[in-house]
């Protein structure tokens, strides 16, 4: 996956109606692209079978 560009970061911000000052765009790009890359580095396959339910119920063993 290619890194998100500064313009794409601005588009994401516009989509959620949040203002991001121009001077913060480069660092936000580093941070978000780093995070997305790190998530892709997990190498886990077949995530489709996992339900993305939030964990809020205590498990008692």
Partner 1 sequence: MELSNIPFLSTTDLSKLIQNKDISPVEATQAYLDRISNVDSDLNSYVTVCGEQALSQAKQAESDIASGKYIGPMHGIPVAVKDQFWTKGIQTTNGSTIHKGWIPDEDATVITNLKSNGAILLGKLNMSEYASGDAFHHPYGRPKNPWDLSRNPGTSSSGSGAATAACLCSTSLGEDTGGSIRGPASFCGLVGIRPSWGRVSRYGVFPASWSMDTVGPISRTTEDCAMTLKAIAGYDPKDPYTWNQPVPDYGSELTGDIRGVKIGVITERVDTEANDPEVRELVKTAISELGNAGAVINEISIPLIVHSAAISSTIISCDAAALTRKDLEQNLEQLDHNNQVRLLMGSIMPADAYLKAIKLRELLRRQILDALTKVDVLVMPTSSIPAPKIPEKAGVESKEEVLQGFKGRRSFTSPFNLANTPALSICCGFTSAILPVGLQIVGKPFAESTVFKVAYGYQSITDWHTQRPKI
Does residue 1 touch partner 1 according to CB under 8 A? no
Does residue 56 touch partner 1 according to CB under 8 A? yes
**Residues 4 to 23 in contact with partner 1, rule: CB under 8 A:** 9, 12-13, 15-16, 18-21
Q: Report DSSP letters for 8-58, one per residue.
A: HHHHHHHHTT----GGGHHHHHHHHHHHHHHHHTT----GGGS------SP
* Residue 7: both structure tokens together: 């313009």
Residues that bind partner 1 (CB under 8 A): 3, 9, 12-13, 15-16, 18-21, 24, 27-39, 41-42, 44, 47, 50-56, 58-61
């Amino acid at each position: 996956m290619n890194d998100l560009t500064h313009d794409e970061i601005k588009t994401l911000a516009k989509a959620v109606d949040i203002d991001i000052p121009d001077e913060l765009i480069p660092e936000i790009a580093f941070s978000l692209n780093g995070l997305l890359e790190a998530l892709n580095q997990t190498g886990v396959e077949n995530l489709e079978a996992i339900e993305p339910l939030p964990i809020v119920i205590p498990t008692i063993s």
